């Protein structure tokens, strides 16, 4: 019994790593968290001059892709190019309703109508942080008004 206790204690001390020593030199933070906190959306991207009203539905993808598409584009591109016509949306101010942060928004039974403008260049919504998965750029629509529509209200 005495030998078993000695073996357990010995293996416990030899299998642990010592704490890293602190040095006075400053190191750059290369942790995965620091790498993925980099903003990849272009802050210099400007809005177009034309204001539009879009009726959008959500497409549930298995990626962080653009996931909103207009009803017109669903009809036009359902057989070809469907994924290329999806857009990102972003609120013009934090006070506006944002479906992305609403856990009660039912992507299968609800749509939205948004008023706003597209950005000139394909990009990501502001702010988008770098992730492990590479995100494909798409058109971004910044809305100033949003209306949530239940499916049965459109029939």
Residue 27's pLDDT is what? 46
Tokens of 83: 């994924």
Residue listed under structure tokens 């459109």: 154
The pLDDT tens digits for 100-112 are 889 899 988 899 9
pLDDT tens sequence across 24-44: 444 445 555 555 578 888 888
Statement: the pTM of the whole predicted model exceeds 0.75: no
Residues 125 and 98: their CA atoms lie apart, in Å, by 12
Q: Provide φ and ψ at 78, rounded to 5°.
A: -65, -25
User: Parallel, antiparallel, or unpaired: how do β-strands 140-150 and 88-91 relate?
Assistant: parallel
- Tokens found for residue 54: 């879009």
Mean local confidence (pLDDT), 46-66 = 91
Report whether pLDDT(143) > 80. Answer: yes
Token representation of residue 153: 């209200």
Handedness of CA 106, 107, 111, 117 (dihedral sign): positive
Which pLDDT value is given to residue 22? 47
DSSP for 62-126, written as a single string: SSS---EEEHHHHHHHSSSSTGGG-BEEEESSTTS--GGG-TT--TTTEEEEEEEEEBSS-B-PS
Amino acid 23: pLDDT: 44
Tell which residue, 116, 8, 137, has the closest CA to residue 55. Answer: 116
Contact 138, 66 (CB under 8 A): yes
Confirm if 65 and 92 have CB atoms less than 8 A apart. Answer: no
84 vs 33: which has the higher pLDDT: 84
Euclidean distance between CA atoms 155 and 146, whole angstroms? 20
Q: What confidence score (pLDDT) does residue 2 get? A: 58
pLDDT tier at 63, thresholds 50, 70, 90: confident
């Amino acid at each position: 019994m005495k030998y078993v206790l000695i073996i357990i204690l010995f293996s416990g001390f030899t299998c642990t790593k010592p704490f890293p020593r602190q040095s006075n030199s400053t190191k750059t933070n290369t942790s995965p968290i620091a790498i993925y906190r980099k903003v990849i959306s272009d802050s210099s991207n400007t809005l177009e001059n034309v204001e539009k009203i879009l009726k959008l539905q959500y497409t549930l993808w298995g990626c962080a892709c653009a996931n909103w598409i207009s009803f017109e584009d669903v009809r036009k591109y359902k057989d070809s190019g469907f994924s290329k016509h999806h857009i990102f949306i972003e609120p013009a101010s934090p006070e506006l309703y944002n479906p992305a942060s609403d856990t009660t928004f039912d992507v299968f039974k609800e749509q939205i109508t948004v008023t706003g403008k597209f950005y000139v260049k394909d990009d990501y919504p502001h702010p988008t942080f770098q992730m492990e998965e590479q995100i494909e750029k798409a058109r971004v629509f910044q809305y100033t008004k949003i209306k949530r529509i239940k499916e049965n209200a459109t029939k």
